[in-house]
Structure 1
Amino acid sequence: MIKFGIVGCGHIAKKHINAIQEADGANLEAICDTQPERVDMFSNEYKVKGYTSLEEMLKTDVDVVNICTPSGFHADIAVQIANAKKHVIVEKPIALTLEDTDKIIQACEENNVKLAVVHPNRFRPAFVELKELVKSGVFGKISHSNATVRWNRNQEYYDQAPWRGTKALDGGVLMNQAVHNLDLLIWLMGDVKEVYSMAATRVRNIEAEDVSTGLARFKDGSLGVIEAATTIYPKNYEESISIFGEKGTVKISGANAIHIEHLTIEGMDEAETEHLIEKIKNDPWGKPGHQCIIEDMVQAIKEDREPIVTGMDGRKALELVLSLYDSAEQNKPIILS
């Protein structure tokens, strides 16, 4: 069994703990938080050892530590974990700056430990199927793609903790919600070459943006449209990814992007198309993405390979977010490195 620890006992930590408990080959050994009351609550509920000091938890025989703290703390914590020769799973986004991201990646490389970033949407059945279709080339030459996040995060959500919606520790809709969809775009379409964006804080009383629109040019020449907002009334309306090619069109959508709303591919008959759509409809979520991340880390350790979602994958998604921010602030196109 691979032994896991959790640092940061907030809302997302429960999802990690449930994933560890359900994952093959994984066992939850310890939790850590700077607030003693949270440590007591989690250690009592999950019957594990609790620590208020990460340094003390790292002295135990845990193999992997999952970082579930506010995003602005990820880098220092990840480096500390790597230096203790423990493998790292870090919630999205990997960090809030590329400098901090590079520190994490370097520390993990220097200490020969695995690094995985939590982008669980890649494991949704609809996107697993879409990835295979894209790889097979059935869409032909891609003209453009679209990523949309039209969600509701009301003021109460942001008021739950003082760090929410801040630029130093959290970020806005691009960094916190749409980063998953940007990761999917890069995973499906390849690296981004150039972006142009506008952003605003229109409805929520937060420091960061609550709505963003942007354009992207991928390195293959295709274009992308990005729309993200937490201002939608009164609840989540749509999360979607669309791809438009010379020989095919697809849209994965719903309040969460889990259903194939439309699929037309040259040469794919109606029966085959309907079978694929029904297959996804019958199991739209599949195995929980966090559980897939945990089980993949277990196998990565045993097989001595990189996890499926690497630190560099996390870096690419973050670089796209930051480039969109830079473009909106400077009101000009930004070329990515």
Structure 2
Amino acid sequence: MVNSLETNTPIRVGLVGTGYVAKLRAEILQQDDRAKLVAVVGSTPEKTAEFAQKYDVEAIASIKDLLNLDIDLVIVATINSEHGAVCRQALQQGKHVVVEYPLSLDVYEAEELINLASRQNKLLHVEHIELLGGLHQALKENLAAIGNPFYARYSTLNHQSPAPQRWTYNKTLFGFPLSGAVSRLHRLTDLFGTVATISCQNRYWGMDGEFFKACLCTTQLQFTSGLIAEVVYGKGETIWLEERKFTVDGEKGGLSFDKEDGKLINSEGTKPIEIGTRRGLFAKDTAMVLEHLINGTQVYVSSAASLYALKVADAARRSAQTGQTVAL
């Protein structure tokens, strides 16, 4: 059980990162009287200074210096490959931690960090806002209507040309596609439980050192329930047909979510399903974290569930490397 913080003063927050998500977090924190963003550290002095000026916080030169400040909570919103090391330093310094997924690109390090947080009696919350979104909630609410589900397919394909030469297109910094984008698997494990076996194929195009022009990762999972699921994740210059679709087949009907269009199909016909907005999810996540730290209420996702999704992603990585089906 994480100790609750004092409520007579705002929770003092330090932020690691200056990108899109870091800016969202900063804006949200500035609108909540329960927290105060006091400092930020970024990848370069220029970005850090610009961010600090915009949000009226202190610019810090290093993570070590940030952790030496009088802060209660560290939010880690930097590149994937840095998550694990920053979380470890923050926990060792006795800080509560919020980190954008994935917790680490190394599944063994992720498990060590969860154990460290437990020993330190500190919160280690891995953001998984996909579980709060309208699509996922609509899936959960309508699963019973299709009877026993036996097949699911989740595809996210994104054409980008030219491919940006930034960390999301860097094998080392982003990680294996389904580890860096572990939310694709977490949706499935949250809905359908434990995985028995996994088979994965992964391909890159246009490699320039660690950077790539495109990637395509296709994975088949067999759950212990017997359900078979396919996950398709691709992005870049050679991904021409864009798609964001999630379908589930059950013995009494099917569910189809194509971008913002949801449908329930069964013997009675087709019924539209309203999908809630994706806006405001980081605000919900942040509010739940603050409520947990102040009043001890539960957050919406456990470290164990996040770790399990990461273990499935790591099994997919091993399958892609070896060409073999991996049993979990």
Say which of 299, 306, 327 aligns to 1:314: 306
Q: What does 1:262-301 correspond to in 2, within 5 Å? A: 262-264=263-265, 273-274=271-272, 276-277=273-274, 280=275, 283-285=276-278, 287-301=279-293
Cα offset for 1:211?
Answer: 0.4
Say which of 151, 158, 162 aligns to 2:158: 151
Deviations for 1:175-232, whole angstroms, at most 9, x for unmatched residues?
Answer: 334x222111111111212101111113564557710111100121110011111036
Sort the Cα spacing of 1:112 and 1:227 in 2 relative to 1 into closer, same or farther, 3 A.
same
Q: What does 1:210-221 correspond to in 2, within 5 Å? A: 210-221=215-226
Cα offset for 1:20?
Answer: 2.7
The whole-number CA distance in structure 2 between the counterparts of 1:83 and 1:302 is: 21
Tell me if structure 1 keeps the 8 A contact 2:176–2:317. no
The whole-number CA distance in structure 2 between the counterparts of 1:112 and 1:305 is: 15
The whole-number CA distance in structure 2 between the counterparts of 1:24 and 1:251 is: 41
Say which of 45, 52, 67 aligns to 2:54: 45
The whole-number CA distance in structure 1 between the counterparts of 2:62 and 2:40 is: 10
Say which of 66, 80, 87 aligns to 2:89: 80
Say which of 18, 31, 44 aligns to 1:9: 18
Tell me if structure 2 keeps the 8 A contact 1:25–1:295. no
The whole-number CA distance in structure 2 between the counterparts of 1:298 and 1:236 is: 41
Letter in 2 for 1:197: C
Confirm or deny that 1:91 pairs with 2:92.
no
2:227 equivalent in structure 1: 222
**TM-score, length of structure 2 as denominator length:** 0.87
The whole-number CA distance in structure 2 between the counterparts of 1:302 and 1:126 is: 30
Deviations for 1:137-171, whole angstroms, at most 9, x for unmatched residues?
Answer: 333211111110111244542x13xx443443322
Other structure's SS at 2:146 match:
coil
Q: What does 1:1-337 correspond to in 2, within 5 Å? A: 1-22=10-31, 25-134=34-143, 137-157=144-164, 159-160=165-166, 163-177=167-181, 179-203=182-206, 205=208, 206=210, 210-231=215-236, 237-254=242-259, 259-264=260-265, 273-274=271-272, 276-277=273-274, 280=275, 283-285=276-278, 287-336=279-328
Deviations for 1:107-141, whole angstroms, at most 9, x for unmatched residues?
Answer: 2111111111122111112322322333xx33321
**TM-score, length of structure 1 as denominator length:** 0.85
Tell me if structure 2 keeps the 8 A contact 1:197–1:215. yes
The whole-number CA distance in structure 2 between the counterparts of 1:302 and 1:48 is: 23
Sort the Cα spacing of 1:92 and 1:223 in 2 relative to 1 into closer, same or farther, 3 A.
same
Cα offset for 1:234?
Answer: 7.7
Letter in 2 for 1:325: R
Deviations for 1:3-31, whole angstroms, at most 9, x for unmatched residues?
Answer: 32211223432232233334573332221
Identical positions, percent: 21
Sort the Cα spacing of 1:62 and 1:154 in 2 relative to 1 into closer, same or farther, 3 A.
farther
Matched residues, number: 317
Cα offset for 1:34?
Answer: 5.0
Deviates more, 1:163-172 or 1:295-304: 163-172
Indicate the structure with greater strand content: 2
Letter in 1 for 2:198: V
Cα offset for 1:62?
Answer: 2.3
The whole-number CA distance in structure 1 between the counterparts of 2:116 and 2:77 is: 19
Cα offset for 1:244?
Answer: 1.0
Tell me if structure 2 keeps the 8 A contact 1:172–1:210. no
The whole-number CA distance in structure 2 between the counterparts of 1:21 and 1:144 is: 44
Tell me if structure 2 keeps the 8 A contact 1:116–1:308. no
Other structure's SS at 1:52 match:
coil
Tell me if structure 2 keeps the 8 A contact 1:181–1:241. no
Tell me if structure 1 keeps the 8 A contact 2:145–2:253. yes
Letter in 1 for 2:62: S
The whole-number CA distance in structure 1 between the counterparts of 2:293 and 2:323 is: 45
Tell me if structure 2 keeps the 8 A contact 1:154–1:204. no
